[in-house]
Amino acid sequence: MTMDSQPVLALNETEQKQLLERFLRYVRVHTRSSETSETFPSTQCQWDLLRMLEQEMTAMGLQEVELTDYGYAFGSIPSTLPEGTATPVVGLLAHVDTYPSTEGENVKPQVRHKYDGGDLPLPGAPGKAIRADENPLLVKCIGHTLITSDGTTLLGADDKAGVAIIMTLAQWFLKHPEVPHGKVRIGFTPDEETGNGTRFFDVGKFGASAAYTFDGSVLGEIEAETFCGDSATVTLTGIDVHPGVAKDKMVNALRAAAHLVQLLPKDFLPETTELRQPYLHPYVIGGEVGKVTVKFLVRGFEVEDLRAREEDLLRIARETEEAFPGLRADVLIQESYRNMKVVLDKHPQVVQLAMDAVRLAGAEPTLSYIRGGTDGSALCFKGLPTPNIFAGGVNFHGLQEWVSLDWMIKSADTGLHLVKLWGGLPGKLEE
């Protein structure tokens, strides 16, 4: 086949089956991360999939394959352009870890071909199902191949769908050197779910002008905006004495913590907000009578939203001190990430190429935003513009997570067109 006789930029039936097989293999590998670990990666189990990917990249013939001491697995698809042709290097990224707060070991994926509507049973959880009336996206997937867990664990489509898509793209381009494209860097990161995925990511060494995370959801979505995120820890220090002689002496930090959580503004909780509304989310609590810590996520699309929610937290901490004389309430606020739109607005071409690739893959692109964070948030501010591309998963982080193989295939087709589009760019990324 010559350069003038190029293959259709779409996965064929065999490659689609290979994509499914990859995904099923990856989700069976336990990679749950940890919020409390002090190691990096935060859990040893993540190394199992990272080493598997290193071996697979080497076996398929990728160049510059490396698994770093910090758990980043990298490889390169070589350029097929004439020697000396200058074009920007593009990166494709996904994360291997799964959400810390939902069981992710012994995943038993359930494959349902030609979904015909109705509820999706979860055989490991009798009486439980993914209900069609609670999941309006299911009606868009009639006729698709859908994958769920058995209901006892999450599935892990977040983000093993992205991992499988990128590995399938790499294999496709190595099989088709007749397709003109520039150098492509691929990478797999640990600990995205803990917000630490890019802590040791060396953007200069990665060597790309821009990148894309394949870590999104619905068909056609390109996400170029995220929440700004901070974390907050409230430490409540009480006075612990024997309960038999506690009158007028004990200050119970556990009761104070319950009081503090009850004071949270009801209009700014995850369960009461949507769209662009900010929230304050208590997600970990621990301690005893003498001392309790409560951890919070603070989220808002604008920094001003963060500040307002943090002022709420400072206010209710003071009110809790007043309600429990002798209690000390300390609030520690730490920056996590900022809205990547600030950076991506300076590089509109990066987002536009993704939108163009979706159209070329036969889908309708939608520019959207994430009510959360992604590795791309931090990478943008490290100097690597990185929007997010859909990967087909729904109900992330929960026992009712599911993914459409058909949407995963369209995501892979989008990636094929995206890489070729980047191969036609001049050597410097426009701003």
Tokens, residue 332: 């520690």
- Give the catalytic positions in this structure: 97, 192
Q: Which CATH number fits domain 228-336: 1.10.490.10, 3.30.70.360, 3.10.310.10, 3.40.190.10?
A: 3.30.70.360
Instruction: Write down the CATH number for the domain with range 13-226+339-423.
Output: 3.40.630.10
For residue 2, what pLDDT is reported? 46
Q: How confident is the model at residue 431 (pLDDT cuts 50, 70, 90)?
A: low
Inter-axis angle of helices 405-423 and 13-27, nearest 10: 110
Mention every residue, 6+ apart, whose C-beta is less than 8 A from residue 155. 27, 107, 109, 147, 148, 149, 393, 401, 402, 403
Percent helix / strand / coil, the chain, rounded to 5? 35, 25, 45
Q: What is the mean pLDDT of residues 394-405?
A: 97
Q: Is 323 in contact with 259 (CB distance < 8 Å)? A: yes
Q: How far apart are CA 38 and CA 48, in angstroms?
A: 19
For residue 1, what pLDDT is reported? 44
- pLDDT tens figures, 122-143: 999 999 999 999 999 999 999 9
pTM: 0.91
**Every domain of the chain and the residues it spans:** 13-226+339-423, 228-336
Q: How confident is the model at residue 224 (pLDDT cuts 50, 70, 90)?
A: very high
> By mean pLDDT, which of 5-9, 218-222, 312-316, 325-329 is the weakest?
5-9
CA nearest 357: which of 146, 227, 214?
214
What are phi and psi for residue 197, nearest 5 degrees? -60, -30
Q: How confident is the model at residue 7 (pLDDT cuts 50, 70, 90)?
A: confident
Percent of the chain with pLDDT over 90: 94
